[in-house]
Amino acid sequence: MDNHELKIETFSLGPLQTNAYLLTVPGVEQGVVIDPGMNPEPLLKRIADMPIEAILLTHAHFDHIGGVDRLRKLKGCPVYLHDAEADWLTNANRNGSARWSDVTPPITTDPAEFALDEGMQLKLLGGLTFRMYHTPGHSPGSVSIHYGKHLFGGDVLFKMSVGRTDLPGGSNNELLDSIHGKLFKLPDETIVYPGHGPRTSIGFERENNPYV
């Protein structure tokens, strides 16, 4: 399928303004959601009449998973997450929600049904192939999800910034390895859809990002 057929809608959710993404393709009835965050009402309203094929998680920090429980129960759809964070959905200490009590009550939900891993290719939305890159550094199970000219990078790479590495399981060296060894090998025109803030491109960040 042509790259231009993928429609991407962004929902900035919760107190940390986490970007959730709804992916759809014309002529395909169902959608895919990436990182349904806290206070997901705008997203849930948009997909009220839409079947959801899958929830893909770039990682399992609380601000990216706050809407998972409601969404999966509402739509009966499976959740995909890297095995390095397999126990984070069930454990409020692991996903950070227990430590940020001024921002959120403890967040837990059932484990993911499926694991994401380096090089995995997932066929979704009527046959589009999404490729997974394991990109740790911000968190041990961070993945970046690639289709055509689109890259959903979670909290690895931002416009003129990078993900923080001072949380449990974070590593600045691993983050830079992920960015230089995987993301910066993608074409310049690749659009980066980050976990927070505006979209950017691989070429722009390679040339201008002061942190890498």
End-to-end CA distance of the chain: 33
**Tens-digit pLDDT profile for residues 140-151:** 999 999 999 999
**Tens-digit pLDDT profile for residues 68-103:** 999 999 999 999 999 999 999 999 999 999 998 888
pLDDT value of position 150: 98
Measured distance CA(52)–CA(33) in Å, rounded: 7
In the predicted model, what is the mean pLDDT of residues 110-124? 97
pLDDT value of position 1: 45
- Taking the CB of residue 18, how many other CB atoms lie within 10 A of it? 26
Measured distance CA(162)–CA(172) in Å, rounded: 10
Q: What pTM did the predictor assign?
A: 0.96
Topology, domain 3-207: Metallo-beta-lactamase; Chain A (3.60.15)
Say whether pLDDT at 133 is over 70. yes
Mean model confidence pLDDT for the chain: 96
Measured distance CA(193)–CA(206) in Å, rounded: 15
Domain map (residue ranges) of the chain: 3-207
- Above pLDDT 70, what percent of the chain? 98
